[in-house]
Amino acid sequence: MRRKLVAGNWKMHGNLASNQALLDTIAAGMKRIQGMDCAVCVPFPYLPQAQSRLQRTEVAWGAQNVSPHAQGAFTGEVSASMLVDFGCRFVIVGHSERRTLFGEDDSTVAAKFMAAQGSGILPILCVGETLQERESGITAQVVNRQLDAVLDAAGVAAMAKAVIAYEPVWAIGTGRTATPEQAQEVHALLRARVSDRDPGVARGVRILYGGSVKAGNAAELFAKADIDGGLIGGASLVADDFLAICRAAQG
């Protein structure tokens, strides 16, 4: 059985004071939630805050981006080993906002994925189609291409130490969630794609759904066979909503 994971993606939100209140409430609430994994992916400057507040709690933490480079003259970049210094367990790679707003292509995403793994951090690899792509009937083609880029570069065994997140672009921050059936269909496709290379790895890899997950729709999404939790944007900024989503993932 795959243990469910609910990861918050704070994006570029928060400040020291509001984060502290949010982290306090999440850490306290997680004491009463069992049988699932919980994490928050915070902006870089708040990693020390997450580390000091969350160490020795049930909540893991991580970052939202990482450099593909190990070190050097890369102004503004943050390396995987720097994330390790602040106790990161996870890092999001290939989020659609980074792909579209910051020009990250499949090979950059694969390089970031490998940089994270090289430092022992679990990458959360995001894939997902735009509305136009869905309406053109090429959803499978798009997500398979995004997944294959990483499988080709890193090898299928790498998926044993990673998480996949299916995030349809049209569902992110729009309030328009994929139906559980729509999400399950793509999750099954992704798992089958990994299974073509290694069935054992495919059975173990967690595939999260992301895109307007809320307290009210989490349980029906998480009930699907291939949905192993969620990557949560907006609702991860409201402690009670985030905790309700974590509760829906309890084993």
**Which residues are annotated as catalytic?**
95, 167
Among 5, 36, 83, 172, binds ligand PGA (CB under 6 A): 172
Give min distance, CB of 101 to ligand PGA, in A: 12
Alpha helices in the chain (DSSP H): 16-30, 47-54, 80-85, 96-101, 106-118, 131-135, 139-154, 180-197, 199-204, 215-222, 239-248
Give min distance, CB of 200 to ligand PGA, in A: 28
Which range of residues in 15-23, 79-87, 136-144, 166-174 is near ligand PGA by CB under 6 A?
166-174
| Nearest by Cα to 213 from 190, 238, 193 | 238
User: Nearer to ligand PGA by C-beta: 156 or 234?
Assistant: 234
User: Nearer to ligand PGA by C-beta: 172 or 227?
Assistant: 172
Q: Is 144 in the site for ligand PGA (CB under 6 A)?
A: no
Q: Please give the residue whose beta carbon sits closest to ligand PGA in the complex.
A: 233
User: Nearer to ligand PGA by C-beta: 97 or 226?
Assistant: 97
**Near ligand PGA in 192-251, by CB under 6 A:** 210-213, 231-235
Give min distance, CB of 165 to ligand PGA, in A: 7
| Nearest by Cα to 150 from 125, 117, 168, 133 | 125
Whole-angstrom CA distances from 210 to 79, 196, 224, 250 are 25, 24, 14, 18
Distance CA 65, CA 227 (A): 23
Q: What is the DSSP code (8-state) at residue 71?
A: S
User: Nearer to ligand PGA by C-beta: 156 or 246?
Assistant: 246
Q: Taking a C-beta distance cutoff of 8 angstroms, is the pair 6, 245 a contact?
A: yes
Distance CA 240, CA 245 (A): 9
| Nearest by Cα to 186 from 165, 158, 171 | 165
Q: Is 167 in the site for ligand PGA (CB under 6 A)?
A: yes
User: Nearer to ligand PGA by C-beta: 94 or 201?
Assistant: 94
Give min distance, CB of 190 to ligand PGA, in A: 16
Q: Is 173 in the site for ligand PGA (CB under 6 A)?
A: yes
**CA 100, chain centre distance (Å):** 17
Size of the site for ligand PGA (CB under 6 A): 13
Q: Taking a C-beta distance cutoff of 8 angstroms, is the pair 158, 198 a contact?
A: no
Give min distance, CB of 11 to ligand PGA, in A: 7
Q: Is 40 in the site for ligand PGA (CB under 6 A)?
A: no
CB atoms within 10 A of CB 215: 17
Among 4, 5, 6, 9, binds ligand PGA (CB under 6 A): 9
Give min distance, CB of 7 to ligand PGA, in A: 9
Instruction: Give the binding site for ligand PGA (CB under 6 A).
Output: 9, 167, 172-173, 210-213, 231-235
